[in-house]
């Protein structure tokens, strides 16, 4: 009696129905009918696909998706946590950039082209007078690339330099932490170059930042003309900035005054 039960559990009655290659997992599958040997469902016939890995793959994919979701959250968190950005630009996106004339359409298309051909190396310099949407487009680019999985950071240069000075004697994000984040990101937007008060200290800080990011993509914006920019900063910083950099000149009317 014991003998026959044991034999039964060890090898439930089974019948090979068919073998095929599963379309889902591309594994060789033996479809088998077996009879549940014991328990509340004893005697029930079930069909099992031995060799099929579809369930495993589904579980693994779900885990990866969850991981991606977490990473995306982490990228957004870091962007919001470390970026130094004016409130008026927080909501700026490519979608809410009004391209009411052909020139503005062209700027928007250039921003799109930069996103589409992003290689992690090419730099952009937006130059032109005040209020023409240079910073708006820079923020928009970082947001889009962040959605595509790149780590991005937006820093107003005057704010950054003030912040670094402050962290010498206050708690919060330290200079080292901020410089580490600057080094880490795939794309840095450095906003409002030329608006900072220029001293030997700011010049060497800027050099440190640019030097740390050699070979990585940066978007610069400035209200200065390139001649004035060259004048404003030292030769070394200027040539570093212009290395592998596309210049987009955005002269036009101040967006905030356009409606008046």
Ligand X SMILES: Nc1ncnc2c1ncn2[C@@H]1O[C@H](COP(=O)(O)OP(=O)(O)O)[C@@H](O)[C@H]1O
Q: Give yes or no for a contact between 240 and 210, defined as CB atoms under 8 angstroms apart.
A: yes
Asked if 89 touches ligand X (CB under 6 A), the answer is yes
Binding mask 186-225 for ligand X (x = CB under 6 A): -----------------------------------x----
Q: What DSSP state is assigned to residue 41?
A: T
Q: Which residues pair with 245 in a beta bridge?
A: 123
Helices (H), the chain: 2-10, 54-82, 102-116, 134-147, 157-166, 175-184, 200-212, 226-232, 235-242, 255-258
H or E, element range at 217: strand 217-222
Interactions with Zn ion, residue window 29-68 (CB under 5 A): 52, 54
Residue 22 is a binding residue for Zn ion (CB under 5 A) = yes
**Cα-based distances in Å from 134 to 104, 119, 159, 212, 256:** 11, 21, 17, 24, 13
Q: Which CB, 35 or 195, lies closer to ligand X?
A: 195
What is the token pair recorded at 167?
């962290």
User: Could you say which residues in the range 127-186 bind ligand X, by CB under 6 A?
Assistant: 130-136
Instruction: Tell me 51's DSSP state.
Output: T
Point out which span in 26-34, 101-109, 116-124, 132-140 binds Mg ion (CB under 5 A): 132-140
Cβ distance 223 to 251 under 8 Å? no
- 225, 127 Cβ separation under 8 angstroms: yes
Contact window for ligand X (CB under 6 A) among 28-36, 87-95, 195-203, 230-238: 87-95
Report what 52 binds from Mg ion, Zn ion, ligand X, none; CB cut-off 5-8 Å by kind: Zn ion
Name the segment binding ligand X (CB under 6 A); options: 61-69, 75-83, 93-101, 226-234.
Answer: 93-101
Q: Which of 83, 127, 132, 135 binds Mg ion (CB under 5 A)?
A: 135
Binding test (CB under 6 A) with ligand X, winner from 38, 65, 67, 88? 88
* Residue 112 is a binding residue for ligand X (CB under 6 A): no
Rounded to whole angstroms, how far apart are CA atoms 226 and 27? Answer: 62
Residue 73 within binding range of Zn ion, rule CB under 5 A: no
Size of the site for Zn ion (CB under 5 A): 5
Residues that bind Zn ion (CB under 5 A): 22, 24-25, 52, 54
Residues that bind ligand X (CB under 6 A): 88-89, 92, 96-98, 104, 130-136, 221, 255-256
């Amino acid at each position: 009696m014991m003998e026959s039960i044991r034999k039964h559990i060890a090898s439930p009655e089974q019948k090979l129905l068919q073998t095929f290659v599963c379309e889902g997992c591309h594994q060789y599958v033996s479809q088998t009918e077996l009879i549940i040997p014991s328990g509340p469902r004893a005697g029930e016939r079930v069909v099992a696909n031995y060799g099929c890995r579809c369930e495993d793959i589904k579980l693994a994919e779900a885990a990866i998706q969850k991981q991606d979701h977490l990473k995306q959250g982490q990228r957004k968190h870091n962007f919001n946590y470390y970026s130094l950005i004016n409130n008026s630009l927080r909501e700026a996106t490519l979608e809410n950039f009004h391209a009411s004339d052909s020139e503005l359409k062209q700027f928007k298309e250039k921003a799109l082209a930069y996103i589409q051909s992003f290689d992690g190396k090419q730099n952009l310099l937006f130059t032109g007078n005040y209020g023409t949407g240079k910073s708006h487009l820079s923020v928009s680019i970082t947001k889009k690339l962040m959605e595509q999985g790149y780590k991005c950071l937006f820093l107003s240069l005057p704010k950054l330099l003030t912040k670094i000075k402050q962290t010498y004697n206050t708690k919060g994000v330290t200079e080292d932490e901020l410089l580490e984040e600057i080094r880490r990101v795939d794309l840095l937007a450095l906003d409002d170059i030329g608006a900072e008060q220029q001293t030997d200290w700011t010049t060497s800080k800027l050099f440190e930042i640019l030097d740390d990011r050699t070979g990585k993509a940066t978007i610069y914006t400035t209200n200065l003309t390139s001649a004035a920019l060259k004048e404003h900063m030292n030769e070394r910083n200027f040539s570093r900035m212009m290395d592998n950099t596309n210049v987009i000149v955005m002269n036009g009317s101040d967006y905030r005054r356009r409606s008046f």
